[in-house]
Amino acid sequence: MENLFLAENELNKFGKVENLSQKVEALLNQQKANWELVKTNFESLSQTKIKKFQFKNSEINIQFNPARITSTSAKVDKKSIEERKCFLCLENLPSSQKGILFNNDYLILCNPFPIFKQHLTIPKLKHIPQNIENNFRDLLELSEELHEKFFVFYNGPKCGASAPDHFHFQAGLKNEIPIYSFINSNETDEKLFVEKNNVKIFLVNNEIQNFLIIKSNNRIKLEENFYEILNSAKRILNSNEEPLINILSFYENDIYKVIIFFREKHRPTQYFEEGEKKLLVSPASVDLGGLIIVPREEDFNKITRSDIENIFKQVHLSKEILEKILSEICK
């Protein structure tokens, strides 16, 4: 399987390789040149239809992306997972797919069904379940290493991960996710809830979204606070399992900015409707970050502002519960 891993001398034919951001751009160029599926799907992104909705201090974009139908409609129940081969295990990757080793623990791959003009999937080499515990530090390291253009995101096993049986992150272009503008704006709904050990934790409750932001220039302290929040959420939600969670991680000007969406549920009622009432929308990190992916053109044409408000209200954990989670760590 060694031929899966592209060395620097091979990557160098397709771009600069001075840092990890440049290496993955070279990887993307190599894959477009050698894998027809990737070339076709990335080229089709330039023709993607986008519809924009403006809310107070936030923007939500709807992207019509038919190539994402498999992911959006993925069956993630235990029986379905057990009956299919894991598409992130090395032995099951397409022969044309190549990657870059990261920390001898991950393989950085080009996502063949992209949402972004540069889109990565980053699975562990080992086949272990999707669970952020013991892996959060890797999210921060990847965010720092890829920070020139990319943000890194994590979908929990029960709220967006189409491969909940194999641990992985994804990465996309920062300037293509609306929430990136939000967290860099001076006019936001951020409320500083607690500050300790050089870590600031904010609660955001805007017109349609409820989420947390952790900011710090100290990776170790940020990690400690993240696990405090995660454990507090387990207590408040009375569960020993990982809460429904989506995470987006940015690194800029020596500051980590980690966005946490705690969830009420995975899919809204519209997903399960029939006929005209159906909207095939299955929100994960990217969708909650303001880029909602719809694989059916009929949904792209008919989705409304009130639909977005209703879907987000269903899947977000309430402001009141988020306050309880944060209050626990302030004791």
* 256-283 tens-digit pLDDT: 999 999 999 999 999 999 999 999 999 9
Coil vs helix vs strand at 11: helix
Mean pLDDT of all residues in the chain? 93
Q: Where would I find the beta strands (DSSP E) of 45-198?
A: 49-55, 58-64, 99-102, 106-110, 119-123, 150-155, 168-173, 190-196
Is the CB of residue 179 less than 8 Å from the CB of residue 185? no
Residue 187 pLDDT greater than 60, yes or no: no
Is the CB of residue 122 less than 8 Å from the CB of residue 171? yes
In tens, the pLDDT along 73-83 reads: 667 777 878 78
Q: Residue written as tokens 């990757």?
A: 93
The whole-number average pLDDT for the span 120-147 is 97
Q: Name the token pair of 203.
A: 């609660």
Closest CA to 288 of 233, 211, 213, 182: 211
pLDDT at 57: 80
Coil vs helix vs strand at 45: helix
pTM given for the model: 0.95
pLDDT at 70: 73
Q: What are phi and psi of 109, to 5 degrees?
A: -120, 155
Closest CA to 134 of 154, 113, 111: 154
Is the CB of residue 295 less than 8 Å from the CB of residue 65? yes
The pairing of beta strand 210-216 with beta strand 255-262: antiparallel
The whole-number average pLDDT for the span 14-35 is 96
Confidence of residue 188 (pLDDT cuts 50, 70, 90): low
Percent of the chain whose pLDDT exceeds 90: 82
Residue 196 pLDDT greater than 60, yes or no: yes
Residue 299 pLDDT greater than 80, yes or no: yes
**Which residues on neighbouring strands pair with residue 191, listed in sequence order?**
203
Percent of the chain whose pLDDT exceeds 70: 97
Q: Is 255 left (phi over 0), alpha (psi -120 to 50) or beta?
A: beta
| C-alpha span between 237 and 27 (Å, rounded) | 42
Closest CA to 206 of 97, 278, 85, 308: 308
pLDDT at 88: 95
More confident residue, 186 or 83: 83
pLDDT at 84: 87
Q: How many CB atoms lie within 10 A of CB 201?
A: 25
Lowest mean pLDDT among 134-143, 184-193, 232-241: 184-193
Residue 27 pLDDT greater than 90, yes or no: yes
Q: How far is CA 305 from the centre of its chain?
A: 23
- List alpha helices for the chain, DSSP H: 8-11, 20-34, 36-45, 69-72, 78-83, 136-145, 178-183, 219-236, 285-288, 297-302, 305-315, 319-329
pLDDT at 307: 97
